[in-house]
Amino acid sequence: MPLTVPHGAIRRLMAGIKGFRARYYEKYPESMRMLVEQGQKPEVLLIGCSDSRVDPALITQAEPGELFVVRNVANLVPPHQPDGHYHGTSAAIEYAVRVLEVGHVVVLGHAQCGGIRGLIGMQSGEQPPGDFIAPWVSIAQSACERFLAPANGEDTQGEREASAAWLQESPHLVERAAVRGSVENLMTFPFIRERVEAGTLHLHGWWFDLETGDLWVIDPHTAAFVPVFD
């Protein structure tokens, strides 16, 4: 007798899995059979945000086996810190690069990011709820200081308040700065730096505009974000 599921949201997810099975296991089973028998060999590690509106596989239309994905709040990469503590994102990065030997790492940021808005709020003295959000999003703080610091470099209370107000009006700049900071943090991992310098691994910073569907990427020559589509 089929299981009765009273929750509509869960029923929709189960229906989606049924549709996935019909397509990839019944209609076109060859690709899944190959992935099962030969294992995964993705070329790309994609570090994305946990935001429900920006699913990496959906927006890139990737097929099973194409992406190795790690998602967290605000798509952040912490600096290399082998201290014996729990490091889920760093573990995923290490597995993708050292074991799966991906050739590309993409940091995918996006507009309307709640984690980045939390960071901006912290600049105004707000405190995100809970125990884990504030320490995590503070990873992007140094990126904001490097890429969005006041031009004169002074640190008066008035300038801090003006800066916080400006950041609230320009969240996309903070989101992009966080992507740039995460790409830089990737280079603190010795096994990544070694491969990048050898030319066997390439790093990419992307920012997806949730309002328009446009994609902006870091130009490797200028380090500035440029649009991909016309």
| CB distance 107 to 47 below 8 Å | yes
Q: Within 13 Å and on the Cβ side, how many CA atoms surround 172?
A: 11
Position 162 scores a pLDDT of 44
β strands within the chain, DSSP E: 44-49, 67-72, 104-110, 202-208, 215-218, 225-227
Q: What is the pLDDT of residue 210?
A: 97
Give the integer Cα–Cα distance in Å for 230 and 228.
7
217 phi, psi to nearest 5 deg: -130, 155
Confidence at residue 152, expressed as pLDDT on a 0 to 100 scale:
44
Residue 40: predicted pLDDT: 97
CA distances from residue 193 to 175, 196, 197, 223 in whole angstroms, order as listed: 24, 5, 6, 18
pLDDT in tens, the chain (230 residues): 667 778 899 999 999 999 999 999 999 999 999 999 999 999 999 999 999 999 999 999 999 999 999 999 999 999 999 999 999 999 999 999 999 999 999 999 999 999 999 999 988 888 878 899 999 999 998 888 888 855 444 444 444 444 667 678 889 999 999 999 999 999 999 999 999 999 999 999 999 999 999 999 999 999 899 999 97
Q: State residue 149's pLDDT score.
A: 59
Whole-number pLDDT of residue 5: 78
SS (H, E, C) 157-191: HHHHHHHHHHHHHCHHHHHHHHHHHHHHHHCCCHH
Per-residue tokens: 143? 């990126």
Place of tokens 């405190």: 127
Biggest CA pair distance of the chain: 71
